Chain A
Amino acid sequence: MNAPRAHLGERLQDLVDGRLSGAELAQAREHLEGCARCRAEVAALQQVRRALAPRPGEDRLPDDLAARLARALDDEVAHAPQATGTRRRPRAIRRWALAAGVAAAIAASLLLWYAPGGGRADPWTASVVRDFTAYRSARLPLALRSDDPAALERFFAEQSLGFHTRVFDLAMMDYRIEGGEVSRVGDRPSALYVYRGPGDTRLLCEMFRGRIDELPPAAHIARHNGIDFRVYRQGTLTAVYWPEGDIICVLVSDIGSDAVLALAFAKAAPAT
């Protein structure tokens, strides 16, 4: 084997940081095939990056800090002089604060029942968690990509699911619809659609025929507008179920149970 003529040095860092392309990338790869020293250097640089990379949970703003920032801005706005010389109070709780932090207080006040041993993984939750995980890692094929709720509703109507699918518009909560497909929850066909939210967060909704009492005991149940919302946790994910007639709706995300619950409240509100 011929010895490489020169080691790549900083170009290895460009490679590790994804800053090489085309001919440069091809040349670097070719060099690496014959150079153990440069391969070791690539491994070393990758290892340092890994040691400094975000740790679990660090890729999103903690709910309490998000709520704190909202309050700070409320205070700032309230005490800042207006152009007209008047002062004002904030008119309403901000959308994102509701989704992130203020919902914690709402959810806590409506907590009906808490079962520390509850919330075991069940077939339905296993299905929706599987779908969410696939979506988050860009492995979920979406039959229709659209940010139009009406287009998705038409799509689901054509799929002969046997029930009407109401696609919720969460734009007011800064969650934009990305698309949908037909999936399965347990042994039942489901209408699945997904949202992308602030900070590149993801949210998945599925609707399917069922009765809420088919679910096992929940980690906790919260009541809002006369509807009971059942909360299940699996690892960092939260699934919130509620009934709409003979249809079950479920929201899944890794944004924290209070935030998922707040979004579920917002989605269910028009039906009350």
Chain B
Amino acid sequence: MKQASPDADDRRRRFEAEALPLMSALHRTALRLTRDAQQAGDLVQDTWLRAYRAYDQFAAGTNCRAWLFTILYSVFNTGYRRAQREVEALRMEAMEAAYERWLDDSGVPSAVQMPDEPIDAMDVRVEHALDELPEAFRTAVMLVDVGELSYEEAAAVMNCAVGTVRSRLFRARKCLFAALLPYAREAGFVDAGRSA
């Protein structure tokens, strides 16, 4: 049996040391992107192998997390993305307006009283709410809130300014809250009397 060259072993060792600790965040994001455990595993494996093949092009000391997420999204966009409908900008503006109305009515701090732990029943609604966001806004939320990237890392993945990430994230979170409000009211987590 032929032995691995010291260089090949060292390359693999360095790759594993850098990339493996980050794979749980990639897997978590892949699960949300594909909503299917098998597809998420396939997506992570494809990302993993593509990253390994390109590892020589990765500059040591730069941001490995941003690099891996860039590859994840590239692989997802080219092979896993479901057919998507266009999300109307007007829809987003309406959600933001609903959020502002709710906020204007929030005269007391007890206006939001959701449970400490996420509840399963909300999960599917969170996914539906994410679907209502335009792509660039959903990506900002996925990277920062699900992948736990910093604004700077998300900006590197999205190839935009940090300020753009911040702005998209803020608008996306407002819309998500507005989209979840009816369900929160049903469950009694917010004051049912407030308008939205």
A binds B: yes
Q: Once the chains bind, are B2 and A88 in contact (CB under 8 Å)?
A: yes
B2 near A51 with CB under 8 A, answer: no
User: B137 interface residue, CB < 8 Å from A?
Assistant: no
Docked-complex contact A69 and B176, CB < 8 angstroms: no
B24 touches A59 (CB 8 A): yes
Can you list 18 contacts pairing A with B, beta carbon distance less than 8 Å?
A: A40-B103, A41-B106, A44-B173, A48-B173, A52-B126, A52-B145, A52-B176, A59-B28, A61-B23, A62-B27, A66-B20, A72-B49, A73-B49, A82-B8, A96-B16, A198-B20, A199-B23, A199-B24
- Contact residues in A for B155 (Cβ distance below 8 Å): none
Q: Are A37 and B106 in contact (CB under 8 A)?
A: yes
Q: Are B44 and A69 in contact (CB under 8 A)?
A: yes
Interface size on B, residues (CB 8 A): 56
> Smallest CB–CB gap between A17 and chain B, Å?
8
Taking Cβ atoms with an 8 Å cutoff, the residues of B that contact A are 1-5, 7-9, 12, 16-17, 20-24, 27-28, 31, 41, 44-45, 48-49, 52-53, 99, 102-104, 106-109, 111-112, 114, 118, 122-123, 126, 141, 144-146, 148, 151, 166-167, 169-170, 173-174, 176-177, 180
Q: Evaluate whether A88 and B109 lie within 8 angstroms (CB atoms) in the complex, with A58-B28, A73-B52 already known.
A: no
A residues 1-39 with Cβ under 8 Å of B?
9-10, 13-14, 17, 19, 36-37, 39
Assess whether A209 is interfacial by the CB under 8 Å rule.
Answer: no
Tell me whether chain B's interface is mostly helix, strand or loop, or mixed.
Answer: helix
Contacts of A53 in B (CB 8 A): 118, 145
- The verdict on A91 contacting chain B, using a C-beta distance below 8 Å, is yes
Residues of chain A having any CB pair with chain B under 8 Å: 9-10, 13-14, 17, 19, 36-37, 39-41, 43-45, 47-55, 58-62, 65-66, 68-69, 72-73, 76-77, 82-84, 86-91, 94, 96, 174, 198-200
Chain B residues with CB under 8 A of A17: 144, 151
Contact of B103 among A10, A44, A61, A89 (CB under 8 A): A44
B145 contact from A43, A48, A174, Cβ within 8 A:
A48
In the complex formed, the residue of B with least CB distance to A100 is B20
Task: For B16, give the chain A residue with the smallest CB separation.
Answer: A96
Chain B residues, CB < 8 A from A91: 1, 3-4, 9
- A10: which of B24, B99, B166 is its contact (CB, 8 Å)? B166
> In the complex, what residues of A have CB within 8 A of residue B177's CB?
44-45, 47-48
Which residues of B lie under 8 Å from residue A10 when comparing CB positions? Answer: 166-167, 170
**Known interface pairs A54-B28, A65-B27; A49-B145 also in contact (CB < 8 Å):** yes
- The residue in chain A whose Cβ has the minimal distance to the Cβ of B19 is A69
- A residues less than 8 Å from B109 (CB atoms): 36, 39-40, 43
User: A36 touching B114 by the CB < 8 A rule?
Assistant: no
CA distance A10 to B26 in the complex (A): 27
Contact B3 A88, beta carbon cutoff 8 Å: yes
CA distance A56 to B103 in the complex (A): 31
**In the bound complex, do residue A44 and residue B126 qualify as a contact, i.e. CB atoms below 8 Å apart?**
no
| Cβ 8 A contact of B173, one of A9, A45, A94, A199 | A45
CB distance from B44 to the nearest CB of A (A): 6
Contact B112–A43 (Cβ < 8 Å): yes
Q: Are A13 and B180 touching (Cβ within 8 A)?
A: no
Known: A53-B145, A65-B41. A89 touches B2 (CB 8 A): yes
